[in-house]
Amino acid sequence: MDFNDTPEEAKFRAEARAFLEANVKPKSAESERLQRKLSPAEYLKAAKAYQAKKAEAGFTGITWAKEQGGRGLPPIYSVIFNQEEAKFDAPAAPFSIGLGMCVPTVIAFSDEATKDRYVAKALRGEEIWCQLFSEPGAGSDVAASKTKAVRDGDDWIVNGQKVWTTGAQFSDYGILLVRTNPDVEKHKGLTMFIVDMKQKGVEVRPIHQASGGREFNEVYFTDVRIPDSSRLGDPGMGWNVALVTLMNERLAVGGSYGPDYKEILDFARGISSPTGEGALIKDEAFRQKLADWIVRAEGYKLAKFRTMTALSKGQTPGPESSIGKVINANQMMDIANTAIEAQDHFGIINDPDLAPLEGAFHQSYMFAPGLRIAGGTDEILKNIIAERVLGLPQDVRVDKGVAFKDLPSGR
């Protein structure tokens, strides 16, 4: 594996860095503090302004075809830009799902008129998208979706509920997976649609999370009419369409979040050990944990290099991209828990003005359980790794060959 940039890649990296330095601040405790003080409306306004500049400079849809507003570059260039952008406090979050998962699905499965209508506006940040897959009774088993759509002339009438929909409260459109045929196996009776999130019958209810955030939502559909022209793929082929989205999703959520071993290493130098004998960094039990975290982080970094190597050769990354989230979500919680416990009874203080790293350890601890669910639960991803990476036998499926309507379900 060669991890050095080619001359063309180095030139692109320098171009990306120059754009970022001119438009956003480098990541720091102060810049993150100021960003957290923005109201949701202020943050969204800043995000749209940044996205418009990013699109004008050609750093959105980097891998997309030029006729779709992209640069038509190999995927490694997108990786390079993401690496550089991660060093800055760029307000890119509202667009990550739409541009990383939803709009690529629209491009892959819609006609030219549909692409002309949606793609350019999404790239410029004029319209925001969300992904409507998970349900209260389905979760990571996406194919178990019960939200149904019934054909009515040139329209489909949708009724049901989705949950854990990130960004639905400020989204203009979404991609929606629904049940259109209950008389076949669960993977065969699904269809994907584009849905207008502002239309009559769509109700969005933000969920107040344990971390204090409100990024996730419940979304209810009551007699929502969707024209057949908004369908993505053939009726009943929604699972194949969803797989394209899911692969993009699991690659996108595999990165690290919150304080990592570097932050807790600095933290451990300035706080006493549980024995009261010197700093925490001198404690043998803590040092063992720290070594484990470093090994896992470095192992994941090397696994990512495999993905980067595949991308640099124009290849499609395999199911090994599922490894990242299993490692990072659990490590994030372990690091945060260790830091909080190390503060003894002061660990209960999560006031950003008083807590270490402005309460980042507390926020990470409360957010980590959600990250272990988003983009596929740990259990689902471990099954993928076992079956598709390690080549182990498939898990037992009692629903194989059974029509969805005949599957037993709880009351």
Q: What is the pLDDT of residue 347?
A: 87
Closest CA to 279 of 260, 289, 265: 265
pLDDT classification of 329: cutoffs 50, 70, 90: confident
Least confident of 28-37, 130-139, 213-222, 309-318: 309-318
pLDDT classification of 174: cutoffs 50, 70, 90: very high
How large is the angle between the packed helices 261-269 and 284-312, nearest 10 degrees? 150
pLDDT classification of 372: cutoffs 50, 70, 90: confident
Q: Check whether 385 has a pLDDT greater than 90.
A: no
* Helix/strand number for the chain, H first, E second: 13, 8
Percent of the chain with pLDDT over 90: 50
Mean pLDDT for 282-286 is 91
Q: What is the pLDDT of residue 410?
A: 62
Cα(294)–Cα(292) distance, integer angstroms: 5
Q: What is the pLDDT of residue 254?
A: 45
Mean pLDDT for 294-321 is 74
Q: What is the pLDDT of residue 359?
A: 84
Q: Where are the alpha helices (DSSP H) in 24-39?
A: 29-36
pLDDT digits (tens, 9 = 90+) for 206-230: 998 877 778 889 999 999 999 999 9
Average model confidence (pLDDT) across the chain? 87
Least confident of 27-41, 74-88, 119-133, 187-201: 27-41
Contact 381, 227 (CB under 8 A): no
Query: Which tokens in the block code for residue 403?
Result: 């029509």
pLDDT digits (tens, 9 = 90+) for 257-266: 667 888 899 9
Q: What is the pLDDT of residue 311?
A: 61
How large is the angle between the packed helices 7-23 and 75-85, nearest 10 degrees? 40
Mean pLDDT for 189-208 is 96
Q: Which residues pair with 149 in a beta bridge?
A: 158
Cα(122)–Cα(116) distance, integer angstroms: 11
Q: Which residues pair with 401 in a beta bridge?
A: none
Mean pLDDT for 370-380 is 80
Strand pairing of 129-132 and 173-179?
A: parallel
pLDDT classification of 18: cutoffs 50, 70, 90: very high
Contact 318, 389 (CB under 8 A): yes
Q: Check whether 188 has a pLDDT greater than 80.
A: yes
pTM: 0.84
Percent of the chain with pLDDT over 70: 91
Cα(120)–Cα(123) distance, integer angstroms: 5
How large is the angle between the packed helices 75-85 and 284-312, nearest 10 degrees? 140
Q: What is the pLDDT of residue 314?
A: 61
Helix (H, G, I), strand (E, B) or coil at 276: coil
Q: What is the pLDDT of residue 233?
A: 95
Cα(99)–Cα(248) distance, integer angstroms: 10
pLDDT classification of 1: cutoffs 50, 70, 90: low
Mean pLDDT for 161-172 is 94
Query: Which tokens in the block code for residue 250?
Result: 């699991």
Cα(346)–Cα(131) distance, integer angstroms: 40
pLDDT digits (tens, 9 = 90+) for 229-242: 999 999 999 999 99
Q: Check whether 121 has a pLDDT greater than 80.
A: yes
Q: What is the pLDDT of residue 253?
A: 45
